[in-house]
Amino acid sequence: MKLLRPQTPANIAALLFVAARGGFALADEVELSVEAYTEDTSCSEVVYVEIGSDACPDASSCSAENDEVGGFQYAVSTSCTTDRTAYFATAFKGQSYLTIETYASSCVEELYDTRSYLADGECHPYKYGHFKIGEGDDNTTSVFISDSGCDSTDWNEDWSALTDSELNTGACITNGMVVFRSRLELEFEFDRLCRHF
């Protein structure tokens, strides 16, 4: 398993083509609640975002969360948006991110929620523990999670999609539990090496 990095010029071109075209359309007509997880106490280094249809908070907020021994773990900001695409572009500040839209039973129905992960191949804290995005030898892009921190040797695959046929295609995919569409927005920095974990 290697951490997510562009592999070949053909793959890079295909992903950039989809990203440049805007990927698939996101439904952005109503005010949506935003919960963003960050690695700093000022809520500026976003690593994970959930956008749902819950009621929006009365005011935006930023609060630090501590682990069991009182050390800083992450901060959570709450706010609202009417434009998911613009929010993600601003929140991730030009960095690569993976977006997963989930639906109740088909992609033509009301969107259930949208989750976006910083896709730099590194480990980051978020509301369910820690995550990192990786690309498998079987041509999958996956979200891996751990309950025991970044140094864990016990990473579980929480979500995956076939990179060529299910990611950046606009395809509506059913994996037996959820219906989703996904896309990967790439940064324009391709000089980093692939690393295995």
* CA–CA gap between residue 95 and residue 88 (Å, rounded): 10
- pTM score, two decimals? 0.78
**Backbone phi and psi for residue 125, each to the nearest 5 degrees, phi listed first:** -80, 150
pLDDT value for 96:
94
Are the beta carbons of 94 and 120 closer than 8 angstroms? no
* CA–CA gap between residue 64 and residue 85 (Å, rounded): 26
Using alpha carbons only, how large is the chain's radius of gyration in Å? Answer: 16
For 133-161, the pLDDT digits (tens) are: 998 888 899 999 998 888 889 899 999 99
For 18-64, the pLDDT digits (tens) are: 333 334 444 446 889 999 999 999 999 999 999 998 888 888 999 99
* CA–CA gap between residue 4 and residue 119 (Å, rounded): 7
With CA atoms as reference, report the closest residue to 186 among 23, 27, 39.
23
- Residue 27: how many CB atoms within 10 A of its CB? 11
Are the beta carbons of 103 and 111 closer than 8 angstroms? yes
Q: Where are the domains of the chain?
A: 2-185
Distances (CA, A) of 117 to 74, 109, 148, 159: 14, 23, 19, 12
